[in-house]
């Protein structure tokens, strides 16, 4: 199983037009498997939209993308508003939940950590030892590491009802001593953003 994340940087003021165009194209694209979710950034880097896809393999991804384009109506007519694109192929950690149609929260937090080269197996191990207790407090949407794109990236996504719940749960996890996993000695960088799912997002 692979996960593809696509982050598009948009011209300011065009997010609504891009979302509308994407939704229209998605009516055609959804004849084929893969789509999981669509979000607009609310806190963090602004004027970004994120869409996430899941496939059995890179080979399946390439074939579906080819078939969808040949069928017509896809890709969506939004490129005039796109300034830049970041595309990554990621591998789910063994404990990462399957993606699908789920109602998990009103806000999603996307966190991207950069670790020292060669240490992702250590990250997977240490997270695996603690994740069960942490997910009793709030759902883990996914935990993945890069296979194609900037390497040594650890992407984890969490869902919450609102920002107040996020703050409360994070404080509770720290108080209980069940989070975060101890990876500080191999951690190089941390980035996060808060995004809002679109009405048509399968993860919402």
Average pLDDT estimate for 95-113: 97
Residue 93's pLDDT band (boundaries 50, 70, 90)? very high
Give the global pTM.
0.96
Task: Assess if residue 103 is contained within a domain.
Answer: yes
Residue 76, domain CATH: 3.30.70.100
33 lies in which domain range?
2-197
Sign of CA dihedral 113, 193, 108, 149: negative
Tell me, yes or no, whether 84 lies in a domain.
yes
User: In which band, very low, low, confident or very high, does the pLDDT at 48 lie, cut at 50, 70 and 90?
Assistant: very high
Confidence at 85, pLDDT banded by 50, 70, 90: very high
**55 in a domain, yes or no?**
yes
Total tally of structural domains belonging to the chain: 1
**Residue 178's closest CA among 126, 142, 141?**
126
Q: Is residue 115 part of a domain?
A: yes
Which pLDDT does position 142 carry in this prediction?
98
Residue 203 lies in a domain: no
202 found inside a domain: no
Residue 50: predicted pLDDT: 98
| Residue at 154 is within a domain | yes
Q: How confident is the model at residue 30 (pLDDT cuts 50, 70, 90)?
A: very high
Q: Considering the domain boundaries, does residue 32 fall inside one?
A: yes
- Average pLDDT value for residue range 159-168: 98
Q: Are 113 and 187 in contact (CB under 8 A)?
A: yes
The pLDDT, as a whole number, for residue 143 is: 98
- Tens digit of each residue's pLDDT (9 = 90 or more) over 113-138: 999 999 999 999 999 999 999 999 99
Q: The dihedral of CA 129, 118, 110, 102: what is its sign?
A: negative
């Amino acid at each position: 199983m692979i996960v593809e994340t696509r982050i598009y940087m948009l011209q300011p003021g065009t997010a609504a037009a891009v979302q509308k165009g994407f939704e229209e194209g998605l009516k055609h694209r959804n004849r084929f498997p893969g789509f999981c979710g669509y979000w607009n950034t609310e806190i963090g880097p602004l004027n970004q939209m994120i869409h996430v896809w899941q496939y059995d393999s890179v080979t399946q991804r390439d074939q579906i993308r080819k078939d969808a384009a040949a069928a017509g109506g896809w890709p969506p007519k939004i490129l005039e508003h796109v300034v830049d694109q970041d595309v990554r192929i990621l591998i789910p950690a063994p404990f990462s939940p399957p993606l699908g149609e789920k109602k998990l929260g009103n806000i999603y937090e996307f966190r991207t950590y950069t670790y020292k080269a060669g240490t992702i197996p250590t990250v997977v191990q240490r997270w695996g030892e603690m994740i069960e207790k942490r997910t009793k407090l709030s759902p883990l949407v996914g935990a993945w590491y890069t296979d194609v794109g900037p390497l040594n990236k650890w992407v984890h996504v969490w869902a919450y009802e609102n920002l107040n719940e996020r703050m409360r749960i994070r404080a509770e996890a720290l108080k209980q001593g069940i989070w975060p996993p101890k990876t500080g000695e191999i951690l190089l960088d941390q980035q996060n953003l808060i995004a809002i799912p679109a009405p048509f997002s399968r993860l919402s």
